[in-house]
Structure 1
Amino acid sequence: MDFPVFIMIIFASSFVASFIQRVSGFGFGIFMMTILPLVMPSYGEATALSGLLALVNSMYICIRMWKQIPWKKLLPILITFIVVSFFAIRWVAGMDGRVLKHILGGILIFVSIYFFFISERIRVKPTMGVQLAMGTASGLMGGFFAMQGPPAVLYFIACTDSKEEYLAITQAFFFIGNSMMTLFRAGNGFVTRTVGLCWLCGIVAVFLGIWVGAMVFRRITLPSLRKVIYAYMAVSGLLAILA
């Protein structure tokens, strides 16, 4: 692939992922991991780049809403996530990238079906057991696939009392979680020079996506946007399995 085309793909995917995250509250990693494993030199580098860009995406809101973060609701699931993701990332280093892409395809299809047909019917109670279970699921999905959002979001929706609290706790989870996973991935050799170069190119697109997403948020129908995203995920998952 020509270098200019490669950089354009990184820029465009970073913009779209950031736009999705700003409008819907999550989905950055889900979208990025439909693109990056196809263009990055290795699967591990794809997860590292996705995590680094997602970190930047959530950092601004996390800092701005720091005083509104409900730490008692966040810490149990966050600590569980960090511990599990540490081991998941170490396992990724010894796994075949092609196999992981096929597994990722299955996960994308499952997540799209879940949010299309099941998520509105499921309500979880914010108990300690639920936090540990969702933290474990998020740690595995974050470590293996850089998409820790779905299990955590299910818990955050159930435990928060306002949209402001929901936004504060989700962005704090993504910011701190991705910061820790970046350190873990660096220790396993996934944060390479290529990842750094792509991050510098993608970070501009991330801020642009945040800006456009903020403007569009008040004008777009969120359910319609989500359906488009989930349909895209299903198609991308199928292509990953068949590739």
Structure 2
Amino acid sequence: MGDRDAWASRLTVCMVHYLILIIICIVGAMLQATIGFGFPIFAMIFLVMIFPFSTAVTITQFAGLLGVGYFFFKYRKFVQWRVLLPFLVPALLIGISLTYVSVEFPVSQLKIGLGLVLIGIALLFLFRSGSIGVKPTPQMGFLMGSLSGVMNGLFAVGGPPVALYLLPTTEDKLGYIASANAYFLIFKIFSLPIRFSNGSIQREHIPFLLVSLFSMTIGILIGDRLMRRIPKPLLRIMVYSFVAVSGLIIILQEIF
């Protein structure tokens, strides 16, 4: 009787984990499709509660690959490579390098500082976006790309710097969505093999990977419809607000 109760309890916990993962992927995919980033931040808030940190990162990266791949191939002709390349190069070099050491890197204090930076930058862009005049210069691309590389390599949440750089510098909404997802796709192609090779995914995690892909598909299809209805001024407010909230969440997770 005791063994049967223990088995039933484990089954219940497992089903709850699957349900949480499905909801996270659907809602997160809609968020990613609507504002161009955000799924990793949203997913990591909850997945670290049910998986080890490295496993949560790998599941998030793997699931996100489907979404960014879909939007890249659908809108690839709108990618603004001239704007993206100065950002992409340092982001890849720094991000891939830090991915190797992220498992053993003590990052608590760094994450709090990073959260404060995100909040400050987001508020500045949100309330003074008309006077800042960010331009797609190589210097700005290198600075924001480096920051994204640090965030992606250590925390797998490199989206906020992507949005802060690309949203003011791309010509239109589709250019922003296409360019952002081009970066995410390229980064994931390089980083995922490293994540899988560090032992973060075991045999029992494979069903969770498959469920995440199925759930992401549903969220992507819904989010794609929503994205096309959002004007760029509203998109700008949504993006900067989410960046600020992301910074606050990063700080609160470390404090509490």
Q: Same fold (TM over 0.5)?
A: yes
Which residue in 2 is equivalent to 1:162? 172
CA drift of 1:215 comes to 3.7
Answering whether residue 242 of structure 2 is matched by residue 241 of structure 1, we say no
CA drift of 1:110 comes to 5.2
Q: How does 1:40-189 map to 2 (within 5 A)?
A: 40-41=51-52, 43-95=53-105, 100=108, 104=111, 107-108=114-115, 111-112=118-119, 114-115=121-122, 117-120=123-126, 121=128, 122-189=132-199
Larger radius of gyration: 2
The 1-side partners of 2:191 and 2:67 are apart by 15
Out of 32, 38, 43, the residue aligned to residue 49 of structure 2 is 38
Which residue in 2 is equivalent to 1:26? 37
CA drift of 1:233 comes to 4.3
Post-superposition CA distance 1:120-145 (Å, at most 9, x none): 22442211111111111101101111
Which residue in 2 is equivalent to 1:6? 17
Unaligned runs of at least 5 residues, structure 2: 1-9
Post-superposition CA distance 1:67-123 (Å, at most 9, x none): 332223222321211111122112212235xx64x75466456535643x2222244
Alignment coverage as a number of residue pairs: 238
Q: How does 1:216-235 map to 2 (within 5 A)?
A: 216-217=226-227, 218=229, 233=246
Q: Partner amino acid for 1:118?
A: L
Post-superposition CA distance 1:2-46 (Å, at most 9, x none): 1111111111111111111111121111211211222112x1122
8 Å CA contact 1:106–1:241 kept in 2: the answer is: no
CA drift of 1:237 comes to 3.8
The 2-side partners of 1:192 and 1:76 are apart by 37
8 Å CA contact 2:94–2:149 kept in 1: the answer is: yes
| Distance change in 2, residues 1:239/1:154 (3 Å) | closer
8 Å CA contact 2:31–2:223 kept in 1: the answer is: yes
Q: Partner amino acid for 1:138?
A: S
Q: What is the TM-score normalised by the length of structure 2?
A: 0.79
Q: Partner amino acid for 1:50?
A: T
8 Å CA contact 1:52–1:179 kept in 2: the answer is: no
Q: Partner amino acid for 2:253?
A: A
* 3-state SS of 1:38 partner: coil
Q: Partner amino acid for 2:118?
A: V
CA drift of 1:66 comes to 2.2
Q: What is the TM-score normalised by the length of structure 1?
A: 0.83
8 Å CA contact 1:29–1:146 kept in 2: the answer is: yes
Post-superposition CA distance 1:150-176 (Å, at most 9, x none): 112222123311222212111111111
Q: Partner amino acid for 1:212?
A: I
8 Å CA contact 2:95–2:150 kept in 1: the answer is: yes
8 Å CA contact 1:138–1:151 kept in 2: the answer is: yes
The 1-side partners of 2:230 and 2:81 are apart by 32
* 3-state SS of 2:162 partner: helix
